[in-house]
Amino acid sequence: MTHLIDALDSPRTIASTVSSRIEGFLDTKADEFAAISPDADDIGQALFEFTRGGKMVRPVLLWWGFQLAVGDDPDWERLKPGVAEAAGSLELLHAAALIHDDVIDHSDTRRGRLALHRQFEALHGRHRYQGDDESFGVSAAIVIGDICLALSEELFETSQSTLGITALTRELRATLRRDVMVGQYLDVLAEVIPLEDERLAERAWEVLSFKSAKYSVEQPLLLGAALGGADEEQLKEISRFGLPLGQAFQLRDDVLGVFGDPAATGKPAGDDIREGKRTVLIAESVKNLSRAQAHILAKRLGDPNLSDTEVSECMAMLTDAGGLEAVESSIRAKHEEALSIVREWATDGAGAQASRTRIGPAVQQQLTEFAETLSYRKS
């Protein structure tokens, strides 16, 4: 049966519903922590603050995946709380990944505030604890990241009592979790491999796809759709849209990581240069650099003490070598590829048949606008 979807809930509504659910869940958990020991109070508080202010990209996409699969289901109101829990679980997973990422990348800030390990380093000072404050911050962040990961599992499990669970959803959830973590390992590895390595570009695409494009866009959509009962064929159709959009999303992130406005990104300018990220942007630039230039870039990538001038010089290098333009062109191509699928879904063509979903003009507009935000966002 082909069904027609007339409207998706707005990202704002979804974000607010999911946020409330996460907050309610964390409240309960914070009470449990405090019951173990008064000392555990800070965990709940930290997670509560950390999970606020995220962009909620993954929850929105899971939610939409579900709506695309179920169509105008009369049972929707009953299912909604379960969808909010499954969506919230992705946001907690993401928070856990960010907490550990910031430790790994030695990042000082996140979302315009102190990174979690820096927060606990500061707390060490405030409470006049003994020993090394930096080491305490890192240890606390490792453990709290683990707790956040466990809470993500728990909230997903909770959703099962409303949504049920199938082998397919279980598998997709496991794949999503695995891909982002293996992607993160590959990211760590890429940073220690010489810039002249022949697999540089290939590696950059592996990290981009697994650590981000699949995990942030394609898989939330797929998981949502599978929770809504989509079959393999529908899922394939959703991947045709989700993967290129996810790639455009992460390519934009790579551009913002170097050229982004600190006020908008919440991260220092050129942060990815100082962290030594081996992005597609870097790989595309290296191709066209002279040996001498490549040597300079290799030396500077990953040096946390670069001056602003040195960072600016690297930025100029990436622009002059055509890396920036190559990435912008990839973004345009991937973005267009994703939109062409949306257009198919809006007609009675092959795509709509394969996905057994036809979207109305309002939904086409919603998906187009959201894709625009992901591919061309300012922060």
Interface residue list for its own copies (CB under 8 A): 29, 32-33, 36-37, 39-40, 43, 96, 100, 103-104, 124, 129-131, 136, 138-140, 142-147, 149-150, 153-154, 157, 161, 167, 170, 174, 177-179, 181-186, 188-189, 191-194, 203, 206, 210, 276, 302
| Residue labelled with tokens 């993500």 | 152
* CA atoms of 115 and 208, how far apart (whole Å): 23
Q: In the bound complex, what is the minimum distance in angstroms from residue 66's beta carbon to its own copies? A: 20
Using the minimum distance from each CB to its own copies, give the nearer residue, 161 or 340.
161
* CA atoms of 348 and 346, how far apart (whole Å): 7
* CA atoms of 297 and 77, how far apart (whole Å): 55
Q: In the bound complex, what is the minimum distance in angstroms from residue 377's beta carbon to its own copies? A: 27
Task: Specify whether the CB–CB gap between 361 and 342 falls below 8 A.
Answer: no
Q: In the bound complex, what is the minimum distance in angstroms from residue 89's beta carbon to its own copies? A: 12
Using the minimum distance from each CB to its own copies, give the nearer residue, 33 or 249.
33
Q: In the bound complex, what is the minimum distance in angstroms from residue 282's beta carbon to its own copies? A: 14
Using the minimum distance from each CB to its own copies, give the nearer residue, 197 or 328.
197
Q: In the bound complex, what is the minimum distance in angstroms from residue 67's beta carbon to its own copies? A: 25
Using the minimum distance from each CB to its own copies, give the nearer residue, 210 or 249.
210
Using the minimum distance from each CB to its own copies, give the nearer residue, 43 or 61.
43
The total of other beta-carbon atoms located within 10 Å of residue 225's CB is: 30
* CA atoms of 343 and 148, how far apart (whole Å): 38
* CA atoms of 60 and 63, how far apart (whole Å): 5
Distant-in-sequence, close-in-space partners of 55: CB < 8 Å, separation ≥ 6: none
Using the minimum distance from each CB to its own copies, give the nearer residue, 8 or 204.
204
* CA atoms of 94 and 105, how far apart (whole Å): 16
Burial of 360 from C-beta contacts in 10 A (0-12 / 13-18 / 19+): middle
Q: What secondary structure letter does DSSP report for 109?
A: E
Q: In the bound complex, what is the minimum distance in angstroms from residue 115's beta carbon to its own copies? A: 14
Strand, helix or coil for residue 114: strand
Using the minimum distance from each CB to its own copies, give the nearer residue, 146 or 372.
146
Cα 242 to the center of its chain, rounded Å: 13
Using the minimum distance from each CB to its own copies, give the nearer residue, 3 or 295.
295
Q: In the bound complex, what is the minimum distance in angstroms from residue 210's beta carbon to its own copies? A: 6
Write out the DSSP string of 212-279.
Answer: IIIIIIIHHHHHHHHHTT--HHHHHHHHHHHHHHHHHHHHHHHHHHHH--HHHHSS-TTHHHHHT---
Q: In the bound complex, what is the minimum distance in angstroms from residue 362's beta carbon to its own copies? A: 37
